Chains A and B, each alone.
Chain A
Amino acid sequence: MRGADYLIKTLKDHQVDTVFGYPGGAIMPVYDALLGSGVKHVLCRHEQGAVFAADGYARSSGRLGVCIATSGPGATNLITGIANAQMDSVPLLAITGQVASNLIGTDAFQEIDTYGLSLSVVKHSYLVTRIEDLPRMLNEAIQLAQSGRPGPVLVDIAKDVQMATMPATTLAFCDDLRPKDLATTNVAMNSAALHSAAELLASSKQPLIYAGGGVGLSKASELLTALVDQFKVPTVTTLKGIGALPSSHPYNLGMLGMHGTKAANTAVQECDVLLVAGARLDDRATGDLKQFAPNAKVIHIDCDQAEISKLRLADVSLLGDMPSILTSLMNAMSHGYKHETAHQWRYRCLQNKEQLGFRYDAPFSGIYAPALLKSLSEKCQQRQAIVACDVGQHQMWVAQHMQFNSSSHHLSSGGLGAMGYGLPAALGAKFANPDRTVITVSGDGSIMMNIQELATLKRYSIAVKILLLDNQRLGMVRQWQNLFFEKRFSEVDLSDNPDFVEIAHAFGVRSTSINQSSQIDTALDEFLSSEESYLLHVSIDPDDNVWPLVPPGKSNSDYIEENPTESSSSSKIPEHKRPEEATQ
């Protein structure tokens, strides 16, 4: 058995049946071993597409995502996607070919120090230059990617190792390796801390839960929902926490942070106890840390010790497995917590949610993106669709205006904010969930970063729905230039965009375009009912912005709702958005 055959066998042993990649010189033995192996290889049209597809596959299924690339440019093209997985804790295995071990360090053709490049963007990485090391390193890599706080692990394999025959003794050894558990987070429950947390919550008059991506990653969403149901604690979510508590849950106040709901940000600023679950208190969520949740005692649950008290000192830290901690916390709370204590607070939170919520009655005849997305969300309710976003204004509109019942249904590049994520991530999600509706919401800037993956959709005849919101601008950058750079618009004009409908047709993908609100209903019905891939191009107003917005470095209390000097668009911004009304 060659090293390359061993690699494929090991993937199969770990129930990996689908991988995403792109071949090249230094990975050819692996591609040879793939033939007839039973492992499905999805040929993307760029290595970045492959790694984002593996990411979307992993996020939407909870399984390991695997991508394969060659040395040199193949490996460098993976880096953005690996960093994306690292920032958002996605279980990902990246396999790269490397030049033969005797050529490493000689500046050989397509040689780059992939291992060195990987150091800042991985959970861990390996360079395999001896066939004897392959079993240990590969098995460790697969387990590490999925254990504890998940993350990307890269295995860079020299070409001669891929072709070398595996020594029999090594094979015997590797079988013993398989059950090895590398998880480091099964720490003993700290009963004193648990007791303190329950006491803090019991004495609180204004408790709040702050749910992050770790809830869904640890499969603790049902437990969190049970806790919220039982103790009636208002809850806010981060971008990655969306869906951890169903959006429709009455105590879900929505997303907090820079583009968070007013009800969520107000609650965080006013709460007296904040129960942070599986979140890292990112700056986009907290705003100015010094002014964040100023009156709150913080209880922080996480499986990663390095996240607890990293940015905000935790009064009580609960380190370990989220489901176990939530179960124990519920038991502890059931002895002393009385939800009547927080009755007035709960009433105020729900009143804010109702009175400060979004409105969609735009008076103009063009298409108002938030209303369109709300309509799409309502039409998708029964389907439990998976929605992958790109990055920018449309990403925030999806977070604000679409409803999710599971965090694995909302795929968004949260930490890295990588434009170009949406289309390949949706592609990967569709391979993992062939029977589910998969939609990507993109912008005219983002879609062009990985538009070549339309060819992959066509090649495999899979149905991904692409909703393209086209404002002919790099909208979020434009919004910031408008607000914070005195309207000095620099390199944000995309009015020379290609004809996206024609582009889709050239790839063999159905497509149509709309620009009037009266067209929305029919267009969305056709979009959703299509049994093949479909690109719905939607022209929106270039001056529409994402509101509310907390300026960078400001407190979450200091949200703004529109640029008062934005005269060119003021007539198009609905009256209801004006700040004096919104604060009533």
Chain B
Amino acid sequence: MSTNTFKIIVRQSAGSLERILRLVRHRGFDVNYCLAREESLENGMSVTLQLSSERSADNLYHQLHKLVDVVEVHQSKPSRLRSCLGNE
């Protein structure tokens, strides 16, 4: 079981958070932590997720990137988890 943290910038629209969480669940990841808030970008939202799974997070990175509303995906190494969450 490994833990990964993703920070996702998404175009805010009805259901964009739901779409991300559905994908994460379906691809076999548990959500340990989730924070969604407005971004300074116009119509943007940032979503920070701490996820755990037996599966590789590399595929998930690309699958998240493929979502139409997703603008950016940043994947933090497990060791950087604390500092990443600390900035929220």
Q: Taking beta carbons and an 8 Å cutoff, which residues of A are in contact with B?
A: 115-116, 119-120, 123-125, 127, 144, 304-306, 308-310
Select one of A115, A306, A309 contacting B15, CB under 8 A: A115
Beyond A123-B68, A124-B68, whether A310 also contacts B59 by CB under 8 A is: yes
Q: Bound state CA distance, A305 and B14, in angstroms?
A: 26
Contact, CB under 8 Å: B62 / A305: yes
Q: In B14-64, which residues have CB < 8 Å from any A CB?
A: 14-15, 18-19, 22, 26, 58-59, 62-63
The reply to whether the CB of B82 lies closer than 8 angstroms to some CB of chain A is: no
Give the chain A neighbours of B58 by CB distance below 8 A: 309
Contact, CB under 8 Å: A306 / B68: no
Chain A nearest Cβ from B18, distance in angstroms: 7
Closest to B64 in A: A306
Beyond A120-B26, A124-B68, A144-B68, whether A306 also contacts B59 by CB under 8 A is: yes
Chain B nearest Cβ from A427, distance in angstroms: 30
Chain A nearest Cβ from B16, distance in angstroms: 10
Closest to A140 in B: B68
Chain A nearest Cβ from B10, distance in angstroms: 13
Give the chain A neighbours of B15 by CB distance below 8 A: 115-116, 119, 125, 127
Contact, CB under 8 Å: A120 / B22: yes
Beyond A120-B26, A123-B68, A144-B68, whether A306 also contacts B62 by CB under 8 A is: yes
Give the chain B neighbours of A115 by CB distance below 8 A: 14-15
Instruction: Determine chain B's interface SS by DSSP, over half rule.
Output: helix
Chain A nearest Cβ from B55, distance in angstroms: 11
Closest to A311 in B: B59
6 A-B residue pairs with CB within 8 Å = A124-B68, A144-B68, A306-B59, A306-B62, A308-B62, A310-B59
Give the chain B neighbours of A116 by CB distance below 8 A: 15, 18
Give the chain A neighbours of B14 by CB distance below 8 A: 115, 127
Contact, CB under 8 Å: B63 / A306: yes
Chain B nearest Cβ from A138, distance in angstroms: 14
Give the chain A neighbours of B62 by CB distance below 8 A: 305-306, 308, 310
Closest to B19 in A: A119
Closest to B63 in A: A306
Per CB-CB distance, the 4 closest pairs between chain A and chain B, nearest first, are: A306-B62, A124-B68, A305-B62, A306-B63
Chain B nearest Cβ from A79, distance in angstroms: 15
Closest to B67 in A: A124
Q: Bound state CA distance, A127 and B19, in angstroms?
A: 13
Give the chain A neighbours of B26 by CB distance below 8 A: 120
Q: Taking beta carbons and an 8 Å cutoff, which residues of B are in contact with A?
A: 14-15, 18-19, 22, 26, 58-59, 62-63, 65-66, 68-69
Q: Bound state CA distance, A116 and B66, in angstroms?
A: 19
Q: Bound state CA distance, A305 and B19, in angstroms?
A: 19
Closest to B18 in A: A119
Chain B nearest Cβ from A304, distance in angstroms: 7
Q: Bound state CA distance, A123 and B63, in angstroms?
A: 12
Contact, CB under 8 Å: B18 / A304: no
Q: Bound state CA distance, A304 and B35, in angstroms?
A: 28
Give the chain A neighbours of B59 by CB distance below 8 A: 306, 309-310
Give the chain B neighbours of A125 by CB distance below 8 A: 15
Extra pairs beyond A119-B15, A125-B15, A127-B15 (15, CB < 8 Å):
A115-B14, A115-B15, A116-B15, A116-B18, A119-B18, A120-B22, A123-B68, A124-B69, A144-B68, A305-B62, A305-B66, A306-B62, A306-B65, A309-B59, A310-B62
Give the chain B neighbours of A120 by CB distance below 8 A: 22, 26
Q: Bound state CA distance, A467 and B22, in angstroms?
A: 41
Q: Bound state CA distance, A127 and B62, in angstroms?
A: 25
Chain A nearest Cβ from B14, distance in angstroms: 6
Chain A nearest Cβ from B21, distance in angstroms: 10
Chain A nearest Cβ from B73, distance in angstroms: 11
Give the chain B neighbours of A309 by CB distance below 8 A: 58-59
Q: Bound state CA distance, A120 and B26, in angstroms?
A: 9
Contact, CB under 8 Å: A306 / B66: yes
Q: Bound state CA distance, A304 and B68, in angstroms?
A: 13
Q: Bound state CA distance, A306 and B26, in angstroms?
A: 15
Give the chain B neighbours of A310 by CB distance below 8 A: 59, 62
Q: Bound state CA distance, A116 and B16, in angstroms?
A: 11
Closest to A113 in B: B15
Q: Bound state CA distance, A232 and B68, in angstroms?
A: 40
Contact, CB under 8 Å: A305 / B65: yes
Q: Bound state CA distance, A305 and B66, in angstroms?
A: 8
Closest to A123 in B: B68
Q: Bound state CA distance, A322 and B2, in angstroms?
A: 35
Give the chain A neighbours of B19 by CB distance below 8 A: 119
Give the chain A neighbours of B65 by CB distance below 8 A: 305-306
Chain A nearest Cβ from B51, distance in angstroms: 17
Give the chain B neighbours of A304 by CB distance below 8 A: 66
Give the chain A neighbours of B69 by CB distance below 8 A: 124
Chain A nearest Cβ from B56, distance in angstroms: 9
Q: Bound state CA distance, A8 and B26, in angstroms?
A: 36
Q: Bound state CA distance, A120 and B27, in angstroms?
A: 11
Closest to A144 in B: B68
Give the chain B neighbours of A306 by CB distance below 8 A: 59, 62-63, 65-66
Give the chain A neighbours of B68 by CB distance below 8 A: 123-124, 144
Chain B nearest Cβ from A148, distance in angstroms: 9
Q: Bound state CA distance, A308 and B85, in angstroms?
A: 30
Closest to B62 in A: A306
Q: Bound state CA distance, A144 and B11, in angstroms?
A: 16
Closest to A153 in B: B68
Select one of A119, A124, A127, A308 contacting B22, CB under 8 A: A119
Give the chain B neighbours of A119 by CB distance below 8 A: 15, 18-19, 22
Chain B nearest Cβ from A414, distance in angstroms: 20
Chain A nearest Cβ from B26, distance in angstroms: 7
Closest to B60 in A: A306
Give the chain B neighbours of A123 by CB distance below 8 A: 68
Q: Bound state CA distance, A220 and B6, in angstroms?
A: 36
Chain A nearest Cβ from B45, distance in angstroms: 17
Closest to A149 in B: B66
Give the chain A neighbours of B22 by CB distance below 8 A: 119-120
Chain B nearest Cβ from A315, distance in angstroms: 16
Q: Bound state CA distance, A116 and B59, in angstroms?
A: 24
